[in-house]
Amino acid sequence: MNSQTIKTWAWVHKWSSIVCTVFMLLLCLTGLPLIFHHEMGHLLGTEVEAPKMAPGTPHASLDKVLSVARAQHPDRVVQYASKDEDDDNLWFVTMTPTPAPTDDFRSVAIDARTAQVLAQPRFNEGFMFVMLRLHVDLFAGLPGKLFLGFMGLLLLVAIVSGVVLYAPFMRKLDFGTVRRNRRTRLKWLDLHNLLGGVTLVWLFVVGATGMINTWADLAIKYWQYDQLSSLMVPYQGQPTVPLAERGSVQRSLEAAQARVPDTKLSFIAFPGTAYSSPHHTTFFLKGNEPFTSKLLQPVLVDAKTSEITAAPKLPWYLMALLVSQPLHFGDYGGMPMQIIWALLDIATIIVLGSGLYLWLGKGRIAREPKEEAAEARALAGADGTP
């Protein structure tokens, strides 16, 4: 690799790193508690648990559960309903002023067996809510998500350019060498390169999946336009189904599960919401295996007649989105994977912090001895690298 090519790669690496590093630091810091979101919920006392009952206690009708939820907030409509991931005896019902997407929502936790209200947790406030919003969209909605997606793209550029630069810059040193007897700046540069190499694959995977996740809203809207619009032709000109005219949701759920056997419910999107149509109750079902439990199968059921309209297969881009979301937070392998994710996250924080230190302190190179300064300039051609 000639000197001009190295300079070009160094420029790309330096500026892609500098632009994204502060935001990547923010994402790593906010992502750390999110890795342990269930454990943090128990620690903060926000987790809801269903009371112990005899195994096999029958569940109440979903229609009764929804009726109880509506009675808590009669001025609101049910947007979504879902079973707790770890407890089949617990329903969470989300209620909003209108079916349209909004941050103004109320959640009602209901015992699936007795249809009694257990709690009304506030998921839109508190420490974990702030961490999630900062991590997902910086409290800026879709523009914030797309901005963070662009920062993720710059991170991938910085990683690729860093790999290209590492070999020629470190050709005289063994991998992982940390020159402890040299000046502080060179020791930090060696540590930066060492941890960067250790976290390379993980950071690329997390950065890529995070970038994909920022496209979720646009991907869903495109899916609705591209594949669901044809299913809405028979309903053209009809208003959203009023609550009084809707059929049994329990019967609709049973029909959906019969259409796709060996699955369990992930969540229900009611008519007019972002994940459904104005005329359907859409049931999102998932498999029972570790991998298939992350994939969803939508079943659209006519809200009036409780008859199935369609069960379309999700396109590849939504499948990629569903796979990337749990991988991003280490949700595939239980606690061992969460711990590994957390350790790599901490290592990445050190990489990003040392990159900032190297860039902010580059002016001190000129005051170092000539030989060391020349070496430092060569090795620090990618100051600020993540």
**How does pLDDT run across 97-107, given as a tens digit for each residue?**
998 888 889 99
The Cα–Cα gap between 130 and 197 comes to 31
pLDDT in tens, 304-329: 999 999 999 888 899 888 888 888 88
Q: Residue 361's Cα: distance from chain center in Å?
A: 34
Length of the chain: 386
Distance from C-alpha of 167 to C-alpha of 175, rounded to nearest angstrom: 9
Q: What 8-state DSSP symbol labels residue 384?
A: T
For 315-364, the pLDDT digits (tens) are 889 988 888 888 888 777 678 888 999 999 998 888 888 877 777 766 55
Structural domains for the chain:
3-39+141-213+333-379 (no CATH), 47-122 (3.10.450)
Q: Are 129 and 113 in contact (CB under 8 A)?
A: no
Model-level pTM? 0.82
**For the residues 88-95, what does the mean pLDDT come to?**
94
Residue 132 confidence (pLDDT) above 90: yes
Average pLDDT over residues 228-249: 86
Residue 378: the pLDDT is 47
Contact 93, 68 (CB under 8 A): no
Query: CA neighbours within 13 Å on the CB side: how many for 27?
Result: 27
**Comparing C-alpha atoms, which of 170, 158, 164, 165 is closest to residue 375?**
170
pLDDT confidence band for 175 (50 / 70 / 90): low
- Residue 289 is predicted with a pLDDT of 77
pLDDT of res. 208:
93
pLDDT at 260 over 70: yes
On whether the CB atoms of residues 268 and 249 are closer than 8 A, the answer is yes
**Average pLDDT score over the chain:** 84
**Nearby residues of 290 by Cβ (< 8 Å), 6 or more positions away:** 332
pLDDT score, position 255: 95
Q: What pLDDT does 180 receive?
A: 59
Q: What percent of the chain has pLDDT over 90?
A: 42
Both structure tokens of 296: 């969803």
DSSP state of 241: P
Pick from 225, 227, 208: which is nearest to 314 by CA? Answer: 227
